[in-house]
A and B are shown apart, each in its own frame.
Chain A
């Protein structure tokens, strides 16, 4: 089997066209008119854009515990098809990833699957209970080398616990990724609180419940001199607080999800729970605010919050349904549609928010989010921005079908993904056979 790939006439980061040779796991050569020998597979990259392999700081792989929704195997296949070479697996599994044992299990499952590098996220508190710190040091020192800690799905609501977590992870250069949701203000909340919730009679999830926690946390991060990462920023008010905090020099980074860039609370009108997500879809003004913030750098990353659920958890009435939507296989297309095609970001910006910066926040930037340069590890994705496709959740690799883009035509398609020089995806399809690192 050939292990050399010549990507002919591609546009790295959307720039000038050239040839890129991938060999021995590295970017071996870059330049127009590179020769190809018999051992080299040539891929015609005319019209295609070459990016560093995408890095997701926010994936729910569901294993262990909810293998009916997703497994590490199916979730990482979806990730590779979406152009990812690394994903951070959230801790809200069953059992919770709050010990070295569980994070090592997830890390090994990821390594065995081989589609992307799986970096487990450790829980901040025992059992996501919000009361007692989990053994963060043990997870950091484990084979999984955890650097990102989050109770995602729940907020670290107790200010003292949050302060301690922010302080404690400094010892191993970790970061706390906060799911900002004031619990008392969101009891039984079903959707964004506003005009639409008032009419639909669904209990409101007010913007202030997110913003109050973001405001508190940036002040805590400043006070103790720690890094803070705000997950799934969804409101214009949160954007303003993050902007203010950055101007003050606070070490805060922020994430937006593809669905908060694309969809609004109007989607709830049909009571289809495929649009039920936490934090909820917000107003058109909020969508505009997070797009502007992503473009101007106030928001640093796009994280999928890929949240697969089995059919029975969505094929029901709204209040009984689970929160969350899948996203790994559509994220890049949504970012292209909302940001690139709209003229607000370049492909180099896409590489920054979907690869370089998330890799740096997760402290995996020795391997991922690297420049496309000779000698760098060949974690790459080849994208066809001219393609258009109608999303069919049943045709996706993720085990679940709760995609809010079902039936929507989106631009762009992943043509190929390389993990350390080996193709995980070619011609838009998974390359079967284990991809050993």
Chain B
């Protein structure tokens, strides 16, 4: 694995390896001294063309915990706003010695272009591209699910995950459908018909327009997607009539929360719209793992950086190695 562009790039064994590696990284994060020397002297560039404080900080934290130097490059106030192309920006950063580029871009496929257009020659990690993919988000979601529902090891065989919301515009949904099914889980997508893409029938997931039916189907995990309020305006596409109607039909409210099986966990990639797709009761309930998802994001991103930059051959670090490194 040279780049991480799409959750689809990962085989079953590679995905499990990333999760196993992340588990070891997470273990080091419980120690008093959290920093590992693994990537000392290496430079990771965070190339963010789209606002994303939490994902950028997560990658930055992960790289720093591995002792890499981190350059943060955000499009705002940079040469990008002066019309510099993606190609020139990437080449400039590589010339400054980047060993890996973490890229967030509003255009679907931009990380793929960075990796394959011949512009630069270093690993590219997709930190979210348009409405395409966000593979590290799906890895941290899988990691979280595994921890709660699969004993923290192996894959997700037999589990049922229901993803609810704006699937059409969601890179989180696309990544999770790919990765969770690769890991053996069954995925159900729930959305109003306007927010499911034409062509979704080819995905390895079942779809439903009715959240109550999906809740009654006793999912093991429910993942609520962020719904942007501007989607309801006619300028934003007019995908649904009002926030209130959306919330009534597709929001995770107290009643639906109570109808879920006891073991079911509630997930959200953040940032949450409380009162729209998720009620405060659900967000703050004991079954909510939203905050833990954030913590797991650091471990998963450490694992990805480790495997792409340090693992010449993709193997998990031995237990004694992390001990020595620590």
Contact = CB atoms under 8 A, between A and B. Distances in A.
Contacts of B174: 199, 201
B65 to A, nearest CB: 30
Nearest to B105: A317
A430 interface: no
Contact of A201 (B86, B116, B171, B201): B171
Interface residues of B, number: 27
A312 B85 contact: yes
A interface, size bucket: 20 to 34
Contacts of B112: 270-271
Contact of A316 (B86, B106, B116, B201): B86
Interface of A: 190, 193-204, 206, 270-272, 312, 315-320
Nearest to A206: B198
Interface of B: 85-87, 105-110, 112-113, 116-117, 129-133, 171, 174, 197-203
Contacts of B197: 197-198, 204
Given A196-B199, A198-B203, A203-B131, 13 more contacts: A193-B198, A197-B197, A197-B199, A200-B109, A200-B132, A204-B198, A271-B108, A315-B87, A317-B110, A318-B107, A318-B108, A319-B107, A320-B86
B95 to A, nearest CB: 18
B113 A317 contact: yes
A270 B131 CA distance: 16
A94 to B, nearest CB: 19
24 contacts: A193-B198, A195-B202, A198-B198, A199-B202, A200-B108, A200-B109, A201-B108, A201-B109, A201-B129, A201-B130, A201-B132, A201-B133, A201-B171, A271-B112, A272-B113, A315-B85, A315-B87, A315-B117, A316-B113, A317-B110, A318-B109, A318-B110, A319-B109, A320-B85
A122 B234 CA distance: 35
Nearest to B116: A270
A322 to B, nearest CB: 13
A198 B132 contact: no
Contacts of B200: 198
Contacts, number: 80
Nearest to B119: A315
A200 B130 CA distance: 10
A239 to B, nearest CB: 20
Instruction: Determine which residue in A199, A201, A272 has the highest number of CB atoms from chain B within 10 A of its CB, and name it.
Output: A201
Contacts of B117: 272, 315
Closest 9 CB pairs of A and B: A198-B199, A271-B109, A201-B132, A201-B131, A198-B197, A319-B107, A201-B108, A195-B199, A317-B110
Contacts of A319: 106-109, 130
Instruction: Determine which residue in A190, A199, A316 has the highest number of CB atoms from chain B within 10 A of its CB, and name it.
Output: A199
B241 to A, nearest CB: 19
Nearest to A197: B199
A206 B199 CA distance: 11
A129 B117 CA distance: 36
A394 B178 CA distance: 39
B109 A316 contact: no
A151 B86 CA distance: 32
Nearest to B110: A317
B94 to A, nearest CB: 16
